[in-house]
Amino acid sequence: MLEIKNLVKTYGGKIALDKVELSIPRGEIVGLFGENGAGKTTLMKCIFNFLHFSGEITLDGEVINVNNIAKLSFATSEHSFFPDITAEAHRKFYSEHFPRFNDKRFNGLMEFFALPRHKILRSFSTGQKNQFEVILALSQGADYILMDEPFAGNDLFNREDFYKVLAGILEPNETVILSTHLIEEVSGFIGRAVLLRRGKIIGDVTADKLEEQGLTLTDYIKSTYNYRSDRVSKALSDITGEEDI
């Protein structure tokens, strides 16, 4: 169980995360949604202790440190790989340092994405770099796999196929926490949605609950955010000076 209690993070006196409370059991696929600046990336970085914060974050009742950090992996568009070595060199390095590294999964995903094994990562395109970042996160052998906008630079067909592959390879005890703006694309993939706004959790709902209520994920997010359907027409009216007809 990943548990977050009373998490507060500030930057220069400005609150980025405001008393966040969240529990995520093993085996869930959680979508983390929110506007730019809502606190999604900050929350993930706090989980990894990349940032100083107040509050408590524990994994299976223990504070996250060098003894249990390998239970977590992170795929980020900021990239955490070594740019001057090859994909194959990464495989060897990870195999040596992570006892649960999944060679079979690594090789299968490399083939799926058709990535070159013997080129240095610096020579990869942006999309390929993001694909490789995801491969490493999924192959490390972690119980909790955090992904922050992992599909940037990838075309629609690659993304759709990847969701299907990911759903097919995950073990029952593996948990994915996925931060993305691609709401409609992942709506059929995630089992739970957590909504952030201005550093606060304003929504937390399961896919089953949405189905019971006859709501789509997009409907739920718009309702929770009090989205105004007339905001575009109002903006155009303000800019052009013309009234709606």
Mean pLDDT across 203-216: 94
More confident residue, 88 or 155: 88
- pLDDT tens string 13-25: 899 999 999 999 9
Specify the residue for token string 């630079």. Answer: 153
CA nearest to 157, candidates 120, 108, 114, 104: 114
Mean pLDDT across 113-129: 92
- pLDDT tens string 54-106: 999 999 999 999 899 999 999 987 787 888 999 999 999 999 999 999 999 99
Q: How many angstroms separate the CA atoms of 210 and 231, rounded?
A: 25
Backbone angles phi, psi at 160, to 5 degrees: -60, -45
pLDDT higher than threshold 80 for residue 244: no
pLDDT higher than threshold 80 for residue 154: no
CA nearest to 179, candidates 37, 1, 18: 37
63 to 38, 75, 139, 172, 208: CA distances (angstroms) = 25, 21, 24, 24, 31
Joined tokens for residue 177: 């926490």
Specify the residue for token string 């980025």. Answer: 16
Joined tokens for residue 142: 């972690």
State residue 107's pLDDT score. Answer: 95
State residue 71's pLDDT score. Answer: 95
CA nearest to 199, candidates 19, 78, 2: 19
State residue 228's pLDDT score. Answer: 63
Strands of 2-11's sheet in order across: 14-24, 2-11, 54-59, 62-63
Mean pLDDT across 25-53: 93
State residue 186's pLDDT score. Answer: 86
Q: pTM here?
A: 0.86
Mutual orientation of helices 103-113 and 126-139 as an angle, nearest 10°?
160
State residue 95's pLDDT score. Answer: 94
Residue 107, amino acid: N
Contact 33, 204 (CB under 8 A): no
State residue 239's pLDDT score. Answer: 73
